[in-house]
Every structure is written in C-alpha cells, then in structure tokens.
Chain A
Amino acid sequence: MLKSERMSKAVIISPKSYQSKIVKELYNLKAIHILNHLKDEMDIGNPLPNASAISETLISVRAIISNLNLEGDVALRNGFRAIGVKNFAHLASTVKKLQEQTNTQLEKIRQTENAISGNARAISLLEKIEALRLPLDACSPYKSLAVFAGDVEAPQTLAKGMQQITDEFELRQSEKTMALFVARPYEARAEELLAKHNFSEMDLSHITGLKGEPAEQIRKLAAELEKSEKSLREAKKAIESLGNKWHDFLILSEKFLSAELEKAEAPLRFAASQNIIVITGWVPTKYTGKLTETIAKITEGHAEMEVSKPSHDDSVPVKLANAKLSKPYEFLLNLYALPKYSEIDPTLFLFLTFPLFFGIILGDIGYGLVILALLFYMPKKYPGMKPIAKIMLPAALSSVIFGFLFGEIFGFEELLGFHLPHVLSRIHQVREMLAFSVFIGLLHINLGLLLGFVNELEHGLRKALLAKGSWWLLQISILGIWLTASGQIALPIYASIAAAIISAALIYMGESITGIIEIPGLISNLISYTRLAAVGLASVGLAVVVNSFMEDFINAGGIMAVAGVTIGIFGHALNIALGLLGGFLQSIRLNYVEFFTKFFKGGAVPYYPFGKKLDEAAQ
C-alpha cells in the first residue's frame, strides 16, 4: 500500500510467425508496458501487413470527421458490431463511399459559393452602370474613343478639368461613379487628370458578353443568385444530415481504427531479426504467471519468456496501487509528481493529513454540513466534479468533527441560548491553537523525515542516518538547548550546543550544502504550520462579523430584518467559498512544501499498458 504496484521485466522471444497472434493477445491482456526498442545490433520490426490499409482508412475517417465538423464522444464497445460493419473490408468500403458522398457535397458547396460571389459582384457592377444610364455594350472598346469607367474622388470638378483639355468627350456621372468617353488623341492627358482624382477602374470582366439593358440583366442574375443560394442551402443541409446520420459510425470507427493501427504498428516497438522477434516490457508482477501461460499457449511452446526483477538503474513505469478510500487522492499526488518506483507512495498520508488540515482550518459544524450538501448535489449536476468531490468528502466530514471540537456553528458559539460545548475555542484560545498547530507540524515534518529515512535505506543505513537521522539529532539538541537555557534540566548548555554542531556536520555529510541551507528552513517550516490556526481564525473572524451585522439588522426589525437575513446568507456563502479555496490550498500546500520536501522526489514514467487505449475508448 505504501509502494506502487510491483513490476517485473519481461522479455519475450518468439519466432516471427507468431507475431500477429502475440500482438493480438498482448493487446487483449492490457498488462505489458512495452519498452520501445532502439535500433542497435538488432533491427526494429516491420509493421503488420494490414498497417497501411488501416492507416489509410483512418486518415479518411479523420478527414470526414473534420469536414463534417463532428464533435462529441461515443463509448466504443464490441468492436465491429458496435460500429455496424462485418469486417475491415466492409468498414473500408463504407468509409470510401462516405468520403465520396462528402466530397461531392463539399465540391458542390465550393462551386455554388463561387457562383454566388461572382453573381453578387456582377450585380453591383450592373447597378453602377444602370445609374450612369448607359447600355451594356457602351462600355466595350472603340476604335476612335477611349473609355474609362470607374470610381473617382471629387467628381464635381472632373468635367471642368476635362473641358480644359478638349471638348471631344462625354462624361456620365452618378455620385462617385463615372464613365468617360474621350477621343483617342486626348487619352493620355485624360488619364493624367483621372489619376489626380484617384481613379479606380471597374473590373468589367464579370459582365463581358452581357448585352442589352442593365436592369434586365440584373433581374436575370438575381434570379440565378436565388437559385444558387437555394442549392447552397441544400448542399449544406445534405452535409448536416450526413453528419447526423454517420456521427456515431465515424467517431467509433476513428477510435476502433486508432486501436487497430496501434496493434498493426506494434512491431515497430519490437526488436527483430530475420526469424525472431524480441519484446521487452514491464508487467505487474501479479500478471507474470498469466502472461507466461498465454504466450506458451498461443506459440505452442515455441516462445521463450524471461521474467526478472527490476535492477537499480532501470526506470520502471509506475502504477499507483491504493485502497479504494485513498485512491481519489492519487489525483492530488499526480498534480505534484508520480513517485519513483523505489520511493514510498505518499497517497495514504495525503488521505490522512489533507482532511485533518482542512478540518482544522474550516472547523465549523454549519460550514461542514453545507459543503457536504454541495458535495452530494454538485457531482450529480456536473459529473466532471466527481474526482474532486471524492477528495473533499472526508475533508468536509473532518470540518464537521472539528466544528464539534471547536464548538462552532456558522461562527456562533451559542445557538438559541444553548452554549455549544468545546474542547478548544479558536476565538478565545488563540495561543493554544498556535501551539497545537506547531505540534501538528512537528509530527508531520518528522513523519516526512521518517519516510525519507526509509527511502534512503535503499542507499544503505549509513546514508539514511546521515541524511535524515541527523535531523532528529538536531531537533533533540535544540530541545536540549531550550530546556537547559530555561533551567528545566541541569545539564551544561555546551553539551547541547556541541550536539547541535555535530548534527549540522552530519547533515552536511548526508545532504551536502543544501542540507545546511535547509536548517533555518526547519524553523520556518514549523512556523508555517501556524497557518492552520491563522487561516482558521480569519475564517471565524469573518463569520463573527457577518453574524454581528445580521443580529443588528434583525434586532432593528421590519424590513431591516429581511436585509439582515440576506446579509447573513450572502456573508456566509462568501465565507464558505473563501474557506473552501483557502482550506484546499493551504492543506495541499503544507503537504507539497513542508512534507514532500523531506522525502519525495518523484518523476517516474506512468505505467501505460499496451491496449489501454481501447479501454479509454470504451469510457
């Protein structure tokens, strides 16, 4: 329980002919964390023959999913049957057909959209020409006349400017739009003048070939536009209905094919020669028997499997193994780091201390009950909150328990004339609360040192004594100095000081200079635990303030009483929210900063067995 799942290293050596059978079985067993083979004297294996077909279909499926904008999740169970196909060939051909249908509709959408934008542009051009009161063919080029059609700035001065050049021109204007017909010899000068007016020419290519009155053409184009828009709507609807109809099929196929592809490409992770394959991986020790049996059965005894214990320099993947109650707290541990294989898994201690700290900080019967109620209600409404709720449930219970110990309910010590009994009053016995907090800190830190001692034992008793035992000697000598200085024991004070110096030297030998730097840290770590009292006191303070406001308003009577109740509800809601946040952060911080630093290093690779992907797809 204090260590992660025990692992064994498995090496499977088998004739190549059994490769696909072995892959299939390993995938179903979901027990082996395969170590990728790096090319050395042995080459890596080749993917199974169906890999390229699978990956091709998978790419198509993903393309369709993105084209149809599909979202949402469906749990994959029962492989082909859930998808509704007979076999891989059936799946591939269905996907191919579906892709053709999708592409046809997408192409239709693209073309219609082009047509619509072309039409819209032509219509706006025609409207301009109509405003100039010109027939359509007037704009096509002439032998003796140059034509300029477009938009200009300061159109009112244009005619005057032209008159200074020549009278052989005709100008049609409508607001900023104009058409200018000028005799060829004056073309260059007219162009110059237009440039001064920031002339921008109309692109007439959209209406080439159109003849007759602009108004008539506009009507024609508008009718076409309406038709295109209708067919665009139809195509989009077709895409949408394709998406609705095939949603589950596509999502399931994607998951199924990803899993199949993982299987087909697994040999890339094996070592292989011409005739044999070698698979190396980590297996939970309790599954090794079953694995050996399975391999022997499917290869008819032709494969060899070696199982060995992990050695010192192996980086073993870690699978946490905690009991049901403490399991939710693995979440808090994962936020920090995964313990190394050889280290103690501190989840159990998180499970014990997190609720304890939370309870001390937010020890109030009322607040605890409100949080309990929230914890029962919220996960039903928001299933995503379940893991947090499981962590908070013991914490809320602890809040209620400490509420009884502190004799507090919603900040009141007295309710309806009945004085709540208490073991320790947070408001009136602050000094005792502070001492209690530091005492808890002392226990917690020394528990951390003890765990560190156990972790260090791996490097030998000497190392463990130097690195962690020296801290206990230091604490004892500090206690000695204090007791002698205050005259409680009759011992020469030098003895204790000498012991302190010796322990500092031992710390230096065990943990080098960082250990020495950490010595003042021991004191600040201890004082840090006073937050249990301090944050709690702040929370009580706020509750008392809310209550006194509420009482004053209620005593005033009438409408003021209503205001008083409102203040009470909102005030306590705010205080509970603050308390939840503060209590959570402070409790986890004391574990992360003060506790973990005494023993925990972490940083292991998570155990991810071959085949787990399919498990995840089924959720």
Chain B
Amino acid sequence: MAEAGLVAIGAGLALGLSAIAAGMAEQQIGAAAVGAMAEKSETFGRGLILTVIPETIVIFGFVMAFLIIGIAE
C-alpha cells in the first residue's frame, strides 16, 4: 500500500513538474508573441506555434506519469 502511494507521488511529480516547466517556458514566448501580434496582427499563426511548442513538455510528463503507473502495476 505504501508503495502504491509512492508510485502515485512519482507519477504526480512527473506530470506536475513538467507542467510547471512548460508554463515557465511559455510565459516569455507568450508575452513576446502577444507583443508582436499587437504590432502586426498577421503574426498570429507564427506566434501561436512558437507559444505552444513547449506544451509538448507536459505531454512528455503525461506519458512518463502513465509509464510510471504502468511499471508499478
């Protein structure tokens, strides 16, 4: 039972920390992208792409969390 708890904590850390990392990465890109968009509205597409690139980090975190749970089972 205690082990199951540790597995859950590990999975939570994998997802939670990668979400924080993605947030930190996206905050500056997002600010810069909005700034660029205010000057030139046609940069929306490019800005969106650049902003969401770090989002993949969370997805990696999710996959890791899932694998951790899978290994424990």
Contact = CB atoms under 8 A, between A and B. Distances in A.
Interface string B29-73: 000000000000000111011001101101110110010001000
A278 to B, nearest CB: 32
Interface residues of A, number: 18
A588 B48 CA distance: 9
B48 A592 contact: yes
B19 to A, nearest CB: 11
A592 B46 CA distance: 9
Nearest to A591: B49
Given A527-B63, A534-B59, A589 B49 contact: yes
B48 A530 contact: no
Contact of A530 (B52, B53, B63): B63
Contact of A527 (B52, B53, B60): B60
B58 to A, nearest CB: 8
A593 B52 contact: yes
A592 B62 contact: no
A431 B66 CA distance: 8
Q: DSSP majority for the B interface?
A: helix
Most chain A beta-carbon contacts within 10 A, residue among B44, B45, B58 = B45
Contacts of B59: 527-528, 530-531, 534
A534 B45 CA distance: 24
B70 to A, nearest CB: 7
A336 interface: yes
Contacts of A592: 45, 48-49
Main secondary structure of the interface of A (DSSP, over half): helix
Contacts of A569: none
A431 B69 CA distance: 11
B45 A530 contact: no
Contacts of B62: 530, 534
A430 B48 contact: no
B48 A585 contact: yes
A434 interface: yes
Contacts of A524: 56, 60
Given A524-B56, A528-B56, A593-B53, A335 B63 contact: no
Contacts of A336: 45-46, 49
A215 B54 CA distance: 77
A337 interface: yes
Nearest to A589: B52
Contact of A335 (B48, B53, B66): B48
Given A528-B56, A528-B59, A430 B49 contact: no
Contacts of A527: 56, 59-60, 63
B66 A430 contact: yes
A434 B65 CA distance: 13
B52 A585 contact: yes
Nearest to A525: B56
A334 B43 CA distance: 10
Contacts of B49: 336, 589, 592-593
A434 B66 CA distance: 10
6 contacts: A337-B45, A430-B66, A431-B66, A524-B60, A527-B60, A527-B63
**Top 7 closest A-B pairs, CB basis?**
A336-B45, A335-B45, A534-B62, A592-B49, A589-B52, A531-B59, A528-B56
Given A527-B56, A589-B49, 14 more contacts: A335-B48, A527-B59, A527-B60, A528-B59, A531-B56, A534-B59, A534-B63, A585-B48, A585-B52, A588-B48, A589-B48, A589-B52, A589-B55, A593-B52
